[in-house]
Amino acid sequence: MRLNAALPWRWIPPITAPAATQMAIDRWMLQQLLAGGPPMLRLYRWSVPTLSLGRHQQRWPSQWREEAVELVRRPSGGRAVLHAGELTYALVFTPPTRDREAVYRHCCHWLQQALAHAGEPLHFGQASPAAAAQRSSCFATATAADLVSTRGAKRIGSAQLWHGQALLQHGSLLLDPPAALWQRLFQADPPALAPLPWGPEQLEQQLRQAAEEHLCPGGLITQPLSPGEWAAARELEPLGCV
């Protein structure tokens, strides 16, 4: 898939924050794109273990509210994701096509390149969206939106929100999910994944380099959120949890 112009992308440096703040920043990014702003990319972590529910996910186990995790609604689709022992990415841009599978492949290519460099080649899943919708956990199935290791373990789950021609896509890169909490929430073991050879900072550096080479044709310009942008994003924070 070719982009129409080599626009520079804005890189928002990694942020660790509560669930409501992270979701608000993602919504703010999409608003900025719709208002004529540049495409953007960021990585982030969650300050406490959190379950994010897909935009249309209406059912989930009642015992989730009894666990020591936050619950928040994502703006994108898909099923529940446990944000603990993982790294989340979010990007906004205007693809030249609405072919969702082609867009997923384009938007995940940089992730494939980065993980291949770490000795973890990934391929896209093959489960149907209908099959995935029957499960409460995003990582219980792997569709054409997701990346799976050669051993069959799902490493990255991604989801989208379209607003006209504009796209918000974000996803979760599993690193070392807490097994006991995962088992309590999903009644299953987490995917059996090999550890990556990088620490947190090197992982972020490798991902940024891969994005510059395989996602952002005009390069990445580092620009943290300004105080005014922080204030605008916080106005979009959801009121409470799910």
The tens digit of pLDDT for each residue in 24-47 reads 999 999 999 999 999 999 999 999
- What residue spans define the domains of the chain? 9-234
- The mean-pLDDT minimum among 27-41, 131-145, 192-206, 222-236 falls in 131-145
Q: What's the pLDDT score for residue 126?
A: 83
Q: Catalytic pick from 107, 108, 138, 216? A: 138
- Classify burial at 17, counting beta carbons within 10 Å of its beta carbon; exposed 0-12, middle 13-18, buried 19 or more: middle
Q: Per CATH, which fold does 9-234 belong to?
A: BirA Bifunctional Protein; domain 2 (3.30.930)
Higher pLDDT, 138 or 174: 174
The tens digit of pLDDT for each residue in 45-78 reads 999 999 998 888 777 778 888 888 999 999 998 8
pLDDT band at 112 (very low <50, low <70, confident <90, very high): very high
- For residue 233, pLDDT beyond 90: yes
Q: Which two tokens stand for residue 90?
A: 């979010």
Q: What's the pLDDT score for residue 59?
A: 76
Catalytic status, residue 138:
yes
- For residue 241, pLDDT beyond 70: no
- Classify burial at 96, counting beta carbons within 10 Å of its beta carbon; exposed 0-12, middle 13-18, buried 19 or more: middle
Q: Which two tokens stand for residue 16?
A: 């660790």
- For residue 207, pLDDT beyond 90: yes
What distance in Å separates the CA atoms of residue 166 and residue 85, rounded to the nearest whole number?
30
Q: What's the pLDDT score for residue 91?
A: 98
- Classify burial at 84, counting beta carbons within 10 Å of its beta carbon; exposed 0-12, middle 13-18, buried 19 or more: buried
Q: What's the pLDDT score for residue 138?
A: 74
Q: What's the pLDDT score for residue 130?
A: 55
Q: Is the pTM of this model over 0.85?
A: yes
